[in-house]
A and B are shown apart, each in its own frame.
Chain A
Amino acid sequence: MTSAWRRVAAIAAKDLTAERRAKANVVAVASLGALILLVFGFAVGPDAATLRATAAGILWLAVLFSGVLVFHRSYQIELEGGALETLLLYPADRWEIFAGKLLANICVVLLVEAVVMPLAVIFYNIAVPHTWPALLSVVILGTLGFVTLGTFYAAMASRARSREVLLPLLLFPMLVPVLLAASEGSAALLGGDAMGDAGAWLRLLIAFDIIFILASLLVFEHIIEA
């Protein structure tokens, strides 16, 4: 079992190294996230109250739209030099490939969020509450759900025709629970969470994450080999 985890770590490290080398990519993705925040701000209008009310939702949209680019790239490096076939020929179980890529993608998306979220705080005049640890949990669990499905669906979409439209088309309907839980949970915590709603949304995120991480690990071998 330990050799499997070593391989998972090797795959994650390899993906992260490749990502670091193509420096332009993370910067570009984070820039896109910032841009979306700005553009939404224009669309919603400068009224401070409106901005604060919609901040959580817009923030998560910015993360979603810029995040899909991360998933594409994760498979791009495999398709470029014909590395995928070589990867599939190592004596490794298929779930290890998914787990390794999942770990790497989580790191990259968290990095992007580390840029985009402070910017949202600035643009939308968000007051960071004392409940910020709970807020952090919402962010991490929401990101986990997002990246799990993103890594899974990108394994297919990146190799299909019309991949730019196919990945969002497949991914976004599936992410509705995550989007709702993350924005509502964030919004509740930002507003002091008088009703204690955040707890319910956190539990939903945990259940979602567990279900889809397990499902992805089980089904990945069927989609990566085809």
Chain B
Amino acid sequence: MTARAYPSELAPRSSFLSWRALAWIAPIALVAAQLFGLLNSPPDRDMGHLQKIMYVHVPAAWNAFIAFFVVLVASVRYLWTKEERHDLLAASAAEAGAVLTALTLMLGSIWGRPTWGVWWTWDARLTSTAVLLMIFVSYLALRAFTEDPERRARWSAAVGIFGALNVPIVYMSVRWWRTLHQVQSSPSTVEPAYAWGLRLNAIAVLLLLIYFIAKRYEIAHLERLLEERRDQEALAQEPAHA
């Protein structure tokens, strides 16, 4: 009657077998979606072809949110069941989410430079995304600084849940803050000409996200299995001397 359930099979769960196909499906989908976006939609009135950067920037942002949502759900499930696999999933999703968030910020900055002449603008969405990145980074830092696996899992779960709870609040407060002080316009994402391009790219990035999270989870799972095997062997070894 253990406090946590450790994975006992060597093979990954069967529901994950299908994700391996994404290793080649996802990149192809991404290339296809990018080509669609690049070729299909007209250049923006004001920004010209620079607008096309949105086809990576926006899907990256959307998928970062999805990753964060996975962190939330997995963290709650961990605290509820104390089963370690939920903690591993949360950590994997956090890493993938952090990468996507950083990418979103970089692309936003790159887009901003020719448009507004500055590398950074305190645009509501960009600023909120920067805060989101810092929340992910602090989550990963906490994990790095905590060695005991159970403590690390519990603490990460708490930080993950709190961070996720705060995301909508951060976005709302930063947006209010920006509307108080006159602000430059954000890149347009609502024009119908761009909609399909965005959707297709969002799905392609989602496939990529699923692949990365699943792969990362598999690695973490195998690492824990190995650790667990070693620990169990160490447990069985030492004989008691009379």
**How many interface residues does chain A have, given as a range?**
20 to 34
Q: Choose among A169, A174, A181, A222 the residue that contacts B79 (Cβ–Cβ < 8 A).
A: A222
| A166 CA / B180 CA spacing, docked (Å) | 32
**Quick check: is A217 within 8 A (CB to CB) of the other chain?**
no
Q: Choose among B154, B172, B174 the residue that contacts A226 (Cβ–Cβ < 8 A).
A: B154
Per-position 1/0 for B178-204, Cβ under 8 A of A: 001000000000000000000000000
Given contacts A173-B134, A173-B135, A174-B135, contact A161 B177 (CB under 8 A): no
| A160 CA / B79 CA spacing, docked (Å) | 20
Per-position 1/0 for A215-226, Cβ under 8 A of B: 100010011001
**Quick check: is A88 within 8 A (CB to CB) of the other chain?**
no
Name the residue in A170, A180, A201, A207 with the highest tally of chain B Cβ atoms < 10 Å from its Cβ: A170
A177 touches B145 (CB 8 A): no
Q: What is the minimal beta-carbon distance from B130 to any residue of chain A, in angstroms?
A: 9
Q: What is the minimal beta-carbon distance from B65 to any residue of chain A, in angstroms?
A: 16
**Quick check: is A121 within 8 A (CB to CB) of the other chain?**
no
Per-position 1/0 for A37-56, Cβ under 8 A of B: 00000000000000000000
A197 touches B180 (CB 8 A): yes
B147 — nearest CB in chain A belongs to which residue?
A161
**Quick check: is A107 within 8 A (CB to CB) of the other chain?**
no
Per-position 1/0 for B141-166, Cβ under 8 A of A: 11001101011001101110111011
**How many interface residues does chain B have, given as a range?**
20 to 34
A222 touches B157 (CB 8 A): yes
**Quick check: is B116 within 8 A (CB to CB) of the other chain?**
no
Residues of B within 8 A of A (CB): 79, 131, 134-135, 137-138, 141-142, 145-146, 148, 150-151, 154-155, 157-159, 161-163, 165-166, 169-170, 172-174, 176-177, 180
Known: A166-B145, A169-B134, A212-B165. 20 other contacts (CB 8 A): A152-B162, A153-B159, A160-B142, A161-B146, A166-B142, A170-B141, A173-B134, A176-B174, A180-B176, A184-B180, A200-B176, A204-B176, A207-B169, A211-B169, A215-B165, A219-B162, A222-B157, A223-B154, A226-B154, A226-B155
Residues of A within 8 A of B (CB): 149, 152-153, 156, 160-162, 166, 169-170, 172-174, 176-177, 180-181, 184, 197, 200-201, 204, 207-208, 211-212, 215, 219, 222-223, 226
